[in-house]
């Protein structure tokens, strides 16, 4: 598989991941077959208890296999340290996921590349600070934004 197809799949997984987080939809651990729909629909543990026979009920989450609470068995995004570092910095509150969802919906490839790059920069900065010692803090773009009174979101007004 070429690198382009691989990154397109990751970008699509990123969009699905952010959409799930933005809408609060966790991956179902169980599913039941609905003959009226002709397909599998989400079920909960209580509904599936003792009936996971693979015909009417099945367990999507397998013991011992990695699991992402948002994408299920697809753990590409959950295991990507750069993307998770980006999310730690830019998705602190639930409404942040809505903003990220709009951004990734516009251009998932661009969002994938940009967010991964910014996550790598954050990891690199942390490693540099660790190497320099606990007393040294490197300047950050966010700190520069708040340095001038009256600038930046939630800043103190000029006096």
What pLDDT score was predicted for residue 138?
52
**Which two structure tokens, joined as six digits, stand for 28?**
């179902």
Region of residue 50 (left: phi > 0; alpha: psi -120 to 50; beta: else): left
Residue 76 burial (10 A CB sphere; 0-12, 13-18, 19+): middle
E strands, the chain, where?
30-34, 39-43, 57-59
| Residue 157 within a domain | no
What pLDDT score was predicted for residue 134?
63
| Domain with 90 in it | 1-25+74-152
Mean pLDDT by 10 residues, the chain (159 residues): 69 97 93 89 82 79 92 95 94 93 97 96 84 60 49 47
Model-wide pTM > 0.75: no
Within this chain, do residues 87 and 47 fall inside the same structural domain, yes or no? no
Within this chain, do residues 52 and 130 fall inside the same structural domain, yes or no? no
Alpha carbon distances (Å) from 135 to 89, 130, 138: 22, 10, 10
Of 66, 96, 122, the last residue of a domain is 66
In the chain, how many domains are there?
A: 2
Name the nearest CA neighbour of 59 among 45, 76, 75: 45
Within this chain, do residues 59 and 124 fall inside the same structural domain, yes or no? no
Within this chain, do residues 57 and 120 fall inside the same structural domain, yes or no? no
Name the nearest CA neighbour of 3 among 75, 124, 109: 109
């Amino acid at each position: 598989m070429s690198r382009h197809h691989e990154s397109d799949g990751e970008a699509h997984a990123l969009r699905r991941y952010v959409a799930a987080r933005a809408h609060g939809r966790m991956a179902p651990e169980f599913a039941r077959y609905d003959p009226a729909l002709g397909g599998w629909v989400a079920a909960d543990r209580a509904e599936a208890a003792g009936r996971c026979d693979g015909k009417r009920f099945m367990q999507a989450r397998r013991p011992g296999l990695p699991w992402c609470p948002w994408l299920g068995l697809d753990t590409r995004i959950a295991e990507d340290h750069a993307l998770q570092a980006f999310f730690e910095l830019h998705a602190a509150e639930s409404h942040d996921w809505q903003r990220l969802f709009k951004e990734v919906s516009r251009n998932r490839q661009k969002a994938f590349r940009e967010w991964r790059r910014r996550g790598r920069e954050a990891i690199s900065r942390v490693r540099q600070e660790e190497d320099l010692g606990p007393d040294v803090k490197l300047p950050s773009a966010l700190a520069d934004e708040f340095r001038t009174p009256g600038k930046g979101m939630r800043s103190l007004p000029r006096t």
